[in-house]
Chains A and B, each alone.
Chain A
Amino acid sequence: MAAPKPRVKIPKTASAGEVITIKTLISHKMESGQRKDKDGKVIPREIINKFSCEFNGQPVFSCDVEPAISANPYFEFTAKVMESGTFKFAWVDDTGDIYTHEQAIEVK
């Protein structure tokens, strides 16, 4: 599988105290561990098991993920921004890999 590619959509600017919507998506097969291959063997589970978002080092939103989340997991949530800063996103894979993404926002 190609390396999972995170995609994040947040507004470039916002006014102080505004509640913004953040949309995130990462390409990942989310193998549930329930499926069998053509020889009848169970395909081992391999999913993103945790997603988190922080703003300037403070936690905003996180999610414990189970195999019941669809392939290419999508999360949409909100954040209240008071100052300019950077959003840090992290996706934790069952394999132990962590995929990260950073995006700045300017608050006027």
Chain B
Amino acid sequence: MQVTRRQALGISAGGMAFLALGPGMKVALADAAATEKSLMEFTGGKTPTAGKVTLKAPEIAENGNTVPITVSVDSEMTAQSYVQSVTLLAEGNPNPAVATFHFSPMSGEASATTRMRLAKTQNVIAIAKMSDGSVFMDKKQVKVTIGGCGG
């Protein structure tokens, strides 16, 4: 079969569009590897153990633009033993980092609430770093009906 000039153009244009779309889509949303990288940067290479951290988030968020989220860590919060910082990561956002809270013994309790954006249904991860260097984490899936990073 002879391929006409018009057909050839159509095929190559389609191919190029596909190529442009393929890697482009991957860059747009952070994947597990990017999340893992930010996690390791925060913990300094340590793998966090589950426990101590409680992440409170709605199971279904109707609007991904403002999702209330509370993170609390079980700690005495004394000058000897306290929670240094807690970081929040969202696996499916364009950039996995959400916020990092820094506590001090003057905080009284290691607990904070904020509102975050979620692009789609995904896991939200909270990692806590204690004053003695140990790291703990909690993970929660939030279903999102309308994404919050649109434009």
Interface size class of A (residues with CB under 8 A): 20 to 34
| Residues of A contacting B116 in the complex (Cβ-Cβ under 8 angstroms) | 68-70
Complex Cα distance A59/B147, Å? Answer: 35
Q: How far is the CB of B85 from chain A (nearest CB, A)?
A: 9
Complex Cα distance A66/B87, Å? Answer: 11
The closest CB in chain B to the CB of A43 belongs to B151
Q: Is A8 in contact with chain B by the CB < 8 A criterion?
A: no
The closest CB in chain A to the CB of B86 belongs to A63
Main secondary structure, interface of A, reads strand
**A80/B99 in contact, CB under 8 A:** no
Q: Is B111 in contact with chain A by the CB < 8 A criterion?
A: yes
Complex Cα distance A46/B132, Å? Answer: 36
| Residues of A contacting B65 in the complex (Cβ-Cβ under 8 angstroms) | 70-71
Between A and B, how many residue pairs show CB distances below 8 Å? 100
Complex Cα distance A64/B117, Å? Answer: 15
**A60/B104 in contact, CB under 8 A:** yes
Complex Cα distance A29/B151, Å? Answer: 14
> 8 Å CB contacts to B: which residues of A31-79?
32, 34-36, 43, 55, 58-71, 73-79
Q: Is A19 in contact with chain B by the CB < 8 A criterion?
A: yes
Complex Cα distance A59/B101, Å? Answer: 12
Known contacts A68-B93, A76-B114: A32-B149 contact under CB 8 Å: yes
> 8 Å CB contacts to A: which residues of B102-147?
102-109, 111-118
Which of A's residues lie within 8 Å of B, judged by CB? 19-20, 32, 34-36, 43, 55, 58-71, 73-80
| 24 A-B residue pairings within 8 Å (CB atoms) | A20-B108, A34-B149, A36-B151, A58-B106, A59-B102, A61-B107, A62-B101, A63-B102, A64-B99, A67-B95, A70-B66, A70-B67, A70-B117, A73-B114, A73-B115, A74-B113, A75-B113, A75-B114, A76-B114, A77-B107, A77-B113, A79-B107, A80-B77, A80-B108
Q: Which 6 A-B pairs have the closest CB atoms?
A: A35-B151, A80-B108, A19-B108, A76-B113, A70-B66, A70-B115
